[in-house]
């Protein structure tokens, strides 16, 4: 089986494994106060052009989303998200388990939340006679890239950020696939832009070259992250051997590795999307990153599914389905080429 | 600095790293349904003599405790634990964050909870006219070995188990350091005993040779663990690259590795304890595992602390402190010998 | 100011106050185990034709919704509700504070949830490869009458009930205004129907003649309500002087008082709605109970608002707003007549 | 049965019922923004000599404790309480359900928490290398009077307050029986002292003359209670007919009623305690308020229990039990006299 169903089908970039072996018998204190973590923090601060940033490392995305949101919201507050946002549908109610409503709004056709939507929710809340009868919106959550592989432009981010500041809402960016966004053609918002525009964001490692790990960045330092380590521990994200996270991010943020491997994934995805398009296949979401969303006849999918793994998004008219193919840092070009070669036959029975 | 302050100062056993490298470019589905996880589950079932057991892998101990307890207790129920139990004091209120009271009871002189204590709490609850005004005890939580390195004997476990069954309480065993217990001289309760006597337990990897990972065992199969994967996901413990856990436990439970490396740690700890005792140093808790608790004059500690890391437990009479030295699978005998050599001089100024 | 903005503008039905005075110096045990509560439970069981029903009394609606849902759902489960359901928007995230997602679905044009919607959510969940990544739907919550004053027909309730049973979902009916539903013309679902068709429902007192109080009915006895008193206490709903709830429901369910006073409110609402309609005013929701939802020009509303209180629902096209006028058991016909008299002038400037 | 088992065996003071009847058909807005509530707030501010105080009304004690603590603590913080504190043992884990650990400390012989204990917990927490592995103490909770009827002296309160301020802990006073404390002989801490010394406290109505109701006072105004109404609503404490709370506290705080009826209860309790003592009965806790704790032979209790209700606290040596007799605003002196008359015969078989 050649797997395109997600971007965590392999282990880690070899340079990370090498570093784990080199450092294996070093003795370090636990829980992320070791030198590797410190160096990784410095590298990230530099990449973000945010020398004051407070940086923490957690293991996975759901845990990271829950921990951040639990740390910033008061019990009666909720977080605004697109209905396709990861926290809204794919985290088994982790945010609700932390006591907070996810205020889900319809995604626009690029899978995004808009500044106007955020403002409307906020305005509607305070327009009530007794707003205290409803959950108070306190944060906007967006994913960059989105769950549909699309990107917020710098202009969109600026506008969302402005709205959030005017409304007194926190802005959080889920960057589980951030590398694939930064590496995408046309991406005009870099790490320093995120650091400037949002209150907290994270840089995904799990899907971008690491065994696991997410680097949380509070750009303005301890202001919003005082006692954040208590939250990490309470939410089960305080890795005993914290250095494993430090070593991985140290490696990813040395010698441009993070961007380099991300670019590869994006190139593979573009190549695959081009192939689908060359056969007249509609692409449902205008992703420019490592995920592609072709609308494929169901019989073609049946033929492909013996050899290739991909994921189903939704059935649509005409006996077709939106499906998702992911590439990642580890995707072998030969596997992409194989799929491209197999496409004509699979699609021929249309 | 030579570190004895905890048992997670190094990376992982080299065989684990080798396996990670060998399998690195295998493509597997995520979230623990891969073949490595399946094989690791089988190996653990076999080791526990529990062919029906439902086995799950999580990343760390706090997360594991929280997830298990959240899955078994109803909102108004609490868990009985020793005041020195990990869930009672070292998890930043994770259990309370899941909504449950930890009913802390005084530890006995071996750092244990007794069957009689458990029964008293249970009886006192139901002796109330309106028990619904108090938290209902629903589970007993014990650590094997305890946080003080001591072990429940098989007889003690049998009695606690009987009490729990008679009272309708779940019995959970935190085995974060289980290997060091199983490898201890005099340990008469093996994995099959745990499987027979308790409702759920876990086998610690983080402290016993793995990079991270805890293997949760529900000995009687799905009976108590229906939908446990929802709990894992909600609590942020569903590792995307779940195979990493499978590979590690597969390795630890092949060729007796888990016990072999545990025995080394125990031997190192005994050697170190013998040295302390040979200098007339009192040992506070009768640990037979990988932790030792000497009561050392504070000035000697000051002298040692430049070269050796250990952890402070509590100050006691006579300008002394109870301290903890841990060994682990990775402890180098030369480091133990070095400390033993340095002891006389450090203690000489008494 | 003549108030129509809600149905809790006055105190309690005089017979209730009389009974409070008569019983004031009786000594009773606390927390709802007194004779008044027992008698009230019996009266309710009889009215529901559910001799085995387990009946509990709580103080208010939000508390009741939260307590019931907390008692029936496991942490990873959610409750399906209409987007206009009280739990979805007017309880400050109480359900989320209990850890559960409210799975909000678009209301149909009568403000209702449909059986088909419920089935779709359920089917979509289990159609996923790994459903454990999303909240598991476990309950359907409907309000009878709805927040828009409309009623589920017996046929609709039968269908929803059948769907819930087939899907293994609990069915809960919020009856905060149940009296006004039972008293409505055309209501073909009585208390015994609710007892037969749903797993739990409650009979509202706060809005229907009592000072406060909601009577929760588990029709099939303790099966689903074991330890429910623990939940009541934990959620702050265990009234010390529980007899106050008993006395009130005893009074409401004696001599047909509950229905009698509900009928009055419905008659007043119908009279008022007829008046609006006679002036060509559109009625947005086809309520047959004690709430009416005319679509009134904003300038007319401005003229009325000096003398009458009502509540704003939403602005609509044509400088109009959907507003809500409520009647209740205490509504004086002279006040309704006064408003009817003032309508022509208020509306004249259209 | 003559009931002394608690202080909520009757309804409400007749003046309160009269006022409920007088105001019954007034129309008021809901949720506590009516004129009665405003007037009651003013009366309480005046009684507390705290013109800036923010005052809120809730229904019962457990709800009030949970709501206050949920509003002031962050998820990783806990509240220090005596092991006999109401939140520690009699609220079915309501505080834990809000996510917070109750850090229970041994009561001293008067059933109190001491300033020294509070400081020790705080100091021990911050003495840890990594305090983030434990719950952060953030509040001290005391009851005035205590659950054993004893009173903190003004000096003790001053000291506790000073400690809390030095340590950065909130000080909360549970005043469920506050009236009976204020009315006790020797009480040297009045409402203005509480307002000066603590961050939040409440004045109990349920046990002191009202049908139900607790008045929460944040002495320094909105500083600590911004958005407190969201918390009330989320925790199910926002009474629809909020005026019922306003009317009751308006009545209790007019013409000195609250103190007057409290004094009666205290006088009755003292009379009863004197009687027990005159028979050589040991009094376990030195209560000066409305509860008394005699240590009575079990056979005497058996003889009394046919005619009198009281509550059992704990069995003690010598076939005796500590029991509790409560008086309240409604206690009839003839009932106290009856019990006093029956004592000699009941005790004679000793």
**CATH code where residue B138 lies:** 3.40.640.10
Phi then psi for residue A52, to 5 deg, are: -95, -5
CB atoms D136 and A234 under 8 Å = no
User: Does C129 contact chain B (CB < 8 Å)?
Assistant: no
What are residue D174's DSSP bridge partners? D143
CB atoms A1 and B27 under 8 Å = yes
The domain boundary, picked from D205, D224, D252, lies at D252
Q: How far is CA C5 from CA A272, C13, C324, in A?
A: 60, 19, 7
In this structure, the answer to whether residues D242 and D261 fall within a common structural domain is: no
Name the 3-class secondary structure at C111.
coil
Closest residue of chain C to A97, computed from CA coordinates: C99
Query: Number of structural domains, chain C?
Result: 2
- Of the partner residues C62, C64, C238, the one whose CB lies closest to the CB of residue D233: C62
Comparing C-alpha atoms, which of D245, D199, D243, D246 is closest to residue D53?
A: D199
- If you average pLDDT over residues B129-158, what whole number do you get? 97
Angle A97-A100-A106 (CA atoms, 0-180°, nearest 5)? 110
Distance CA A286, CA A270 (A): 11
Phi then psi for residue C138, to 5 deg, are: -135, -10
The tens digit of pLDDT for each residue in D6-33 reads: 999 999 999 999 999 999 999 999 999 9
Identify the pLDDT of residue C95. Answer: 98
What are residue A294's DSSP bridge partners? A283
CB atoms within 10 A of CB B60: 24
- If you average pLDDT over residues B238-242, what whole number do you get? 98
The tens digit of pLDDT for each residue in C231-252 reads: 999 999 999 999 999 999 999 9
Residue C28 class from Cβ within 10 Å (0-12 exposed, 13-18 middle, 19+ buried)? buried
User: Does A123 contact chain C (CB < 8 Å)?
Assistant: no
In this structure, the answer to whether residues B35 and B78 fall within a common structural domain is: yes
User: Does C99 contact chain B (CB < 8 Å)?
Assistant: yes
Mean pLDDT, chain C, integer: 97
- Of the partner residues A9, A17, A94, the one whose CB lies closest to the CB of residue B21: A17
Q: Distance from first CA to last CA of chain A, Å, rounded?
A: 24
* pLDDT tier, B349 (very low <50, low <70, confident <90, very high otherwise): low
Name the 3-class secondary structure at B83.
coil
Label the pairing between strands A77-82 and A136-143: parallel
Distance CA A232, CA A214 (A): 12
Residue C274 class from Cβ within 10 Å (0-12 exposed, 13-18 middle, 19+ buried)? exposed
Residues of chain D with Cβ-Cβ distance to C91 below 8 Å are 233-234
In this structure, the answer to whether residues D206 and D304 fall within a common structural domain is: no
Could you tell me if B120 and B264 are in contact, meaning their C-beta atoms sit under 8 angstroms apart? no
- The contacts of residue A66 (CB under 8 Å, 6+ apart) are A91, A94, A95, A97, A98, A235, B236
Phi then psi for residue B158, to 5 deg, are: -60, -45
User: Does B242 contact chain D (CB < 8 Å)?
Assistant: no
What range defines the domain where residue D166 resides? 14-252
Could you tell me if C99 and B99 are in contact, meaning their C-beta atoms sit under 8 angstroms apart? yes
- If you average pLDDT over residues D246-255, what whole number do you get? 98
The domain boundary, picked from B221, B252, B283, lies at B252
Identify the pLDDT of residue D228. Answer: 98
In this structure, the answer to whether residues C142 and C199 fall within a common structural domain is: yes
Identify the pLDDT of residue C337. Answer: 98
Distance CA B341, CA D311 (A): 64
DSSP-derived secondary structure letter, A283? B
In this structure, the answer to whether residues B193 and B55 fall within a common structural domain is: yes
Residue pointed to by tokens 């629809």: D240
Distance CA D328, CA D316 (A): 27
Distance CA A9, CA B25 (A): 8
Structure tokens at A349: 């029975």
CA distance D192 to chain B (A): 32
Identify the pLDDT of residue D349. Answer: 64
Distance CA B184, CA B207 (A): 15
In this structure, the answer to whether residues B265 and B210 fall within a common structural domain is: no
Q: How far is CA D275 from CA A199, D272, D329, D339, in A?
A: 67, 5, 20, 9
In this structure, the answer to whether residues C200 and C138 fall within a common structural domain is: yes
B vs C, Cβ pairs < 8 A, gives: 47
Distance CA D200, CA D208 (A): 19
Structure tokens at B348: 């000489």
User: Does C131 contact chain D (CB < 8 Å)?
Assistant: no
CA distance D137 to chain A (A): 12
Residues of chain B with Cβ-Cβ distance to C234 below 8 Å are 75-76
In this structure, the answer to whether residues B296 and B215 fall within a common structural domain is: no
Phi then psi for residue C345, to 5 deg, are: -65, -40
Q: Which of A9-13, A345-349, B137-141, B299-303 has the lowest mean pLDDT?
A: A345-349
CA atoms A109, A115, A118, A120: torsion sign: negative
DSSP string, B248-271: HHHHHTSTTHHHHHHHHHHHHHHH
Name the 3-class secondary structure at B212.
coil
Provide the ipTM: 0.97
Closest residue of chain A to B26, computed from CA coordinates: A10
Residue D76 has pLDDT above 80, yes or no: yes
Q: How far is CA D321 from CA B120, D109, D315, in A?
A: 18, 17, 4
Could you tell me if C333 and C268 are in contact, meaning their C-beta atoms sit under 8 angstroms apart? yes
In this structure, the answer to whether residues A87 and A167 fall within a common structural domain is: yes
Residue B350 has pLDDT above 70, yes or no: no
User: Does D62 contact chain C (CB < 8 Å)?
Assistant: yes
Structure tokens at C29: 């045990």
- The contacts of residue A264 (CB under 8 Å, 6+ apart) are A329, A331
CATH value at residue A292: 3.90.1150.10
Comparing C-alpha atoms, which of A95, B46, A202, C338 is closest to residue B55?
A: B46
Please state, for a pLDDT cut of 70, what percent of chain B lies above it: 99
Range A327-348 burial, b when 16+ CB lie within 10 A, else e: bbbbbeeebbeebbeebeebbe
- If you average pLDDT over residues D185-214, what whole number do you get? 98
Comparing C-alpha atoms, which of D46, D24, D10, D60 is closest to residue D244?
A: D24
CB atoms D24 and C10 under 8 Å = yes
Q: How far is CA C40 from CA C110, C130, C247, C248, in A?
A: 33, 47, 7, 8
DSSP alpha helices (H): ranges in C115-213?
A: 115-127, 154-167, 178-182, 191-197
Phi then psi for residue C176, to 5 deg, are: -55, -35
Residue count (chain A): 350
Comparing C-alpha atoms, which of B34, B57, B31, B59 is closest to residue B211?
A: B59
User: Does B66 contact chain A (CB < 8 Å)?
Assistant: yes
Distance CA B27, CA A330 (A): 10
In this structure, the answer to whether residues B212 and B111 fall within a common structural domain is: yes
Could you tell me if D145 and D180 are in contact, meaning their C-beta atoms sit under 8 angstroms apart? yes
Phi then psi for residue C78, to 5 deg, are: -125, 170
DSSP string, B150-184: ----HHHHHHHHHHHHHHT-EEEEE-TTHHHHHTS
Q: Report the helix count and the strand count for chain B, using DSSP H and E.
A: 14, 13
CA distance C128 to chain B (A): 13
Helix-, strand-, coil-residue percentages of chain D, each rounded to 5 = 45, 20, 40
Residue B146 class from Cβ within 10 Å (0-12 exposed, 13-18 middle, 19+ buried)? buried
User: Does B227 contact chain C (CB < 8 Å)?
Assistant: yes
How large is the angle between the packed helices C243-252 and C257-278, nearest 10 degrees?
70
Identify the pLDDT of residue D109. Answer: 85
The domain boundary, picked from D218, D252, D286, lies at D252
Distance CA A49, CA C193 (A): 66
In this structure, the answer to whether residues C95 and C242 fall within a common structural domain is: yes
In this structure, the answer to whether residues D82 and D148 fall within a common structural domain is: yes
Could you report the average pLDDT of every consecutive run of 10 residues in chain A (350 residues)? 96 98 98 98 98 98 98 98 96 97 94 96 95 98 98 98 98 98 97 98 98 98 96 97 98 98 98 97 97 97 96 94 98 98 87
Residue C51 has pLDDT above 90, yes or no: yes
């Amino acid at each position: 089986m050649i797997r395109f169903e997600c971007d965590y089908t392999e282990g880690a970039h070899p340079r990370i494994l090498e570093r784990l072996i080199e450092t294996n018998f070093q003795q370090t204190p636990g829980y992320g106060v070791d030198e590797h973590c410190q160096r990784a923090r410095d590298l990230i601060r530099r990449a973000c052009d945010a020398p004051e940033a407070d940086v923490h490392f957690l293991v996975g995305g759901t845990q990271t989303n829950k921990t951040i949101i639990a740390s910033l919201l008061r019990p009666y507050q909720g977080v605004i998200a697109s209905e396709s946002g990861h926290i809204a549908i794919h985290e088994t109610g982790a945010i609700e388990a932390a006591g907070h409503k996810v205020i889900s709004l319809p995604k626009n056709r690029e899978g995004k939340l808009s500044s106007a939507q955020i403002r409307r929710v906020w305005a509607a809340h305070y327009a009530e006679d007794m707003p205290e009868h409803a959950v108070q919106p306190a944060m906007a959550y967006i994913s960059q890239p989105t769950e549909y592989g699309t990107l917020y432009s710098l202009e969109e981010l600026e506008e969302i950020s402005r709205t959030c500041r005017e409304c007194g809402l926190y802005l959080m960016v889920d960057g589980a696939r951030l590398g694939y966004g930064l590496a995408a053609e046309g991406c005009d918002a870099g790490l320093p832009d995120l650091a400037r525009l949002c209150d907290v964001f994270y840089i995904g490692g799990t899907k971008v070259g690491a065994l696991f790990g997410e680097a949380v960045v509070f750009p303005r330092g301890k202001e919003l992250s005082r006692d954040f380590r208590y939250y990490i521990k309470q939410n089960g994200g305080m890795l005993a051997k914290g250095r494993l996270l430090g070593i991985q991010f140290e490696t990813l943020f040395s010698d441009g590795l993070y961007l380099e491997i991300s670019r590869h994934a994006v190139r593979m995805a573009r190549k695959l999307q081009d192939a689908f398009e060359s056969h007249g296949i509609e692409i449902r979401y205008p992703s420019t990153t490592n995920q592609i969303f072709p609308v494929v006849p169901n019989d073609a999918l049946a033929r492909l599914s013996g050899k290739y793994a991909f994921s189903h998004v939704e059935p649509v008219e005409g006996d077709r389905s939106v499906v998702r193919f992911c590439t990642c840092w580890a995707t072998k070009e030969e596997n992409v080429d194989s799929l491209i070669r197999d496409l004509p036959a699979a699609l021929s029975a249309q």
